[in-house]
Amino acid sequence: MPRKVKNALAYTGAFVFWIAVWHIAASAANKKLLLKVPLPIDTVKEFFRICDKAVFWKAVGTSVLHILCGFGLAVVLGTVFGVLSGNIKPFKILSMPILHLIRSVPVAAFIVIAWLWIPSAVLPSFISCLMVLPIIWSHVDAGLLAIDNRLVEMARVYRMERKDIILKIKLPMISPYLRTGCITGLGIAWKSGVAAEVICNPGGSIGALLQGAKTAINYERVFAVTLMVVLLSLLLENILKVLWKEQKR
């Protein structure tokens, strides 16, 4: 049996296993708890029900736009700051406390603090950018440190132009680090962006739908919208992986 088929069967089996665990746990909980825990089949039914509404897809589009804008800005700024850190030691020393601060403070605290000055409509983009920035920054910095300086020196001996050194030696060595940072960062951007929407509740967003469903005690809808969040996260991550592979060809 081909390896890809084996992997597909293994992942499918794991998926079915956890769906079964969810069904059994929810069934047991519903016998003892006052509030109903949605079963997998109830969640799927509600999922298709909300997918039939234009308001839902408008909210999905708004959230995707907000989060991708924040993610894109983080990639640009993180790359610039990572290059500066990798080449200018005083800059790296001065910026270390900021990186540690962003990594240490809980995302909920950042959301509440930023909400004091930033409008709700912009806050998800800002939080997504802020959470992804140190990831891209540190990965680019690590990529620069991993560059083999002997290759760079040899290129200079052979009078290779500075542009060619960057494009043909440094960039290919940094690329795997940047790719890993972007894939990891996209998941973080999505989670933190939706969290910001849930807290600041901007109208017409996935976070607002989650908050509204929770307020209405419509737990099937809470689970269904959460399912869409998971699917979108996986979709965007795989699109990024495909685009990255296409660029390398």
Give the residue extent of every domain in the chain. 1-37, 39-248
Higher per-residue confidence, 68 vs 89? 68
CATH of 39-248, one of 1.10.3720.10, 3.40.50.300, 2.170.16.10, 1.25.10.10: 1.10.3720.10
DSSP-assigned letters across all residues of 105-145: S-HHHHHHHHHTTS-TTTHHHHHHHHHHHHHHHHHHHHHHH
Burial grade of 212 (CB within 10 A; 0-12, 13-18, 19 or more): middle
Q: What is residue 115's predicted lDDT score, i.e. its pLDDT?
A: 85
3-state helix, strand, coil in the chain (%, to 5): 85, 0, 15
Report the C-alpha gap between 214 and 243 in whole angstroms: 36
112-130 pLDDT tens trace: 888 888 888 888 999 999 9
pLDDT greater than 80 at residue 96: yes
Residue 33's φ and ψ, nearest 5 degrees, are -95, 150
The predicted structure's pLDDT at residue 5:
64
